[in-house]
Amino acid sequence: MTTPIPPAPARDKLLFTPGPLTTSLSVKQAMLHDAGSWHFEFSQLIRTLREQILALAELPAGGGWETVLMQGSGTFGVESVIGSVIPPAGKLLVLINGAYGERIAQMAGALKIPHVALRFPEHEPPSIPAVSQALAADPSIRHVAAVHCETTTGILNPLAGIGREVKRHGCVFIVDAISSFGAIPIDLESAGIDFLVSSANKCLEGVPGFSFIIARRERLLETEGWARSLSLDLLGQWQGFQKNGQFRYTPPTHSLLAFAQALAELNQEGGIPARGERYRANHSLLLNGMRAMGFHPFLSPEWQSFIITAFHFPAQPAFRFPEFYRLLSEAGLIIYPGKLTQVDTFRIGTIGRLFPADIRQLLMAIRETLGELGCPAPVLSPAAL
C-alpha cells in the first residue's frame, strides 16, 4: 500500500526571505524540460549565460574578465574561491560584521588557510582605517574577503572604500555579493574587485542549483595548482569550460534553464536599475508600515539596504515569535528568523518576485496576527500603505 501524495497548494507561499525567493511562474515552467548536458544546444546555453552575466556586470566579453559557473549554492561558490585563489603560503584577511563574514572565516579554518578575522559590530560597516591598519601591520596578508550585503542584518558594506584600501596595499579583493548582485550596481573595476561571487537564486530571481564567479582573468590564471579541492577547483572549472564548453561534473540542468528565463525577465523589467527600484519601493513601503505598527529596524538608515531588514521584537510580553511566524505562514507568508546572537530580531526580505501589493498584504497580515497574539497594533493609515 502506497502513501498518497498530498495535493499541491493552489498557490505557493510568498517568501519574504533572503533566498531562495519567490519566483515567477514562467521561471518555474522553464524547468519542465530535460536537457542533455553534453548536447551542443546546452553548451550554447552555458556560453550565453556566462556572457550575459559579464554584461550585467558591465564587463565586455574578452575584456580581461571571466565568468565561472559552479554547482551548488552561493556558499559553494565562495568556498571555491577561498579554496582556490590563495597560494599555499598565502594569508587571508576576512572582514566580519555578520554571520556570512564569519562563514568565510570558518571556510578558511576548515581549509587550513592562515587568516585574520577582523570583526566589527553587526550594526556598523567595516572601518576603512581599521582595514588599512590591519594590512599595514601584517604584510603577509595578500588577500582580503568581504561581504557586500550582510543579510544577517541587511547592512550594505562600502565596497568602493574597502576596495581602494585593499588595492593601495597591493592585495587581491574577494567579494561575496550573493545577496546584492542583480539589484545594486557594482563597478568591479573602480572597487578593485578581483573575484565576485553571486548566486542564481537571489536578486536575479532564478532557482537554487548553482553560483557564479566573476573573475579577473589575470588573477585567475595565476592560481594554477593552488586549489584545495577537486570539485571546487575554480581554475579547473574554467579550464573545463574553455576546453569543451561543459561543466566538468554533472550540471544543474533544470536550474540553468530556469536561469535563462530569469535573465530574460530581468531584461524585460529594465535591467538591474529597474529591478533595484522595485525592491527599493518594496522596502520603503515595508518600513513605513512596520514603523506605523511600532516596530523598530535594527540598523540606522544610513547603513540599511533594501534587500532585507532586521526588526527588533516588539516590547510586548504577549509577543511570541514562533507563534507569530506560524500564523503568518498559515496566511501564506513566510518571513525569516533573526540571526543575531545578542538581540532578539526577525527579518523580512523585499527581493524576489514581490511587488508593493505583496508588501501591503504582508503588512495587513502582520497587524491581524499581532491582534491574535494579544499585541494590538494601530490601524494602518492609507499613507502607511
What is the per-residue pLDDT across 107-135, written as a single tens digit (0 to 9) for each? Answer: 999 999 999 999 999 999 999 999 999 99
Q: d(Cα 366, Cα 45) in Å, to the nearest integer?
A: 43
Q: Mean pLDDT across the stretch 307-326? A: 95
Enumerate the domain spans of the chain: 14-18+271-384, 26-267
Contact 351, 183 (CB under 8 A): yes
Question: Is pLDDT of 6 > 80?
Answer: no
Give CA angle at 260 (256, 264), nearest 5°.
160
pLDDT tens per residue, range 263-311: 999 999 999 999 999 999 999 999 999 999 999 999 999 999 999 999 9
Q: Which residues, listed in sequence order, are joined to residue 15 by a DSSP beta bridge? A: 334
The rounded percent of the chain whose pLDDT value lies above 70 is 96
Which CATH number does 26-267 carry?
Answer: 3.40.640.10
For the whole model, what pTM was predicted?
0.94
Banded model confidence at residue 2, pLDDT cuts 50, 70, 90 = low
Q: Mean pLDDT across the stretch 35-42? A: 84
pLDDT tens per residue, range 246-255: 999 999 999 9
Map grid coordinates 532586521 to a residue: 310
Query: Comparing 19 with 368, which gets the higher pLDDT?
Result: 368
| Helix ranges restricted to H, 111-214 | 128-137, 159-168
Question: Is pLDDT of 105 > 60?
Answer: yes
Contact 223, 284 (CB under 8 A): no
Confidence (pLDDT) at 221: 98
Q: For 157-181, b where at least 16 C-beta lie within 10 A, e where not — what string? A: bebeebbbbbbebebbbbbbbbbbb
Q: Mean pLDDT across the stretch 174-182? A: 98
Q: d(Cα 195, Cα 58) in Å, to the nearest integer?
A: 15
Map grid coordinates 516590547 to a residue: 315
Banded model confidence at residue 339, pLDDT cuts 50, 70, 90 = confident
Q: d(Cα 355, Cα 351) in Å, to the nearest integer?
A: 9
Closest by CA to 310, choosing from 92, 96, 98, 51, is 98
Q: How many C-beta atoms surround the C-beta of residue 80 within 10 A?
A: 29
Q: d(Cα 252, Cα 210) in Å, to the nearest integer?
A: 7
Please tell me the CATH superfamily of domain 14-18+271-384, with its number.
Aspartate Aminotransferase, domain 1 (3.90.1150.10)
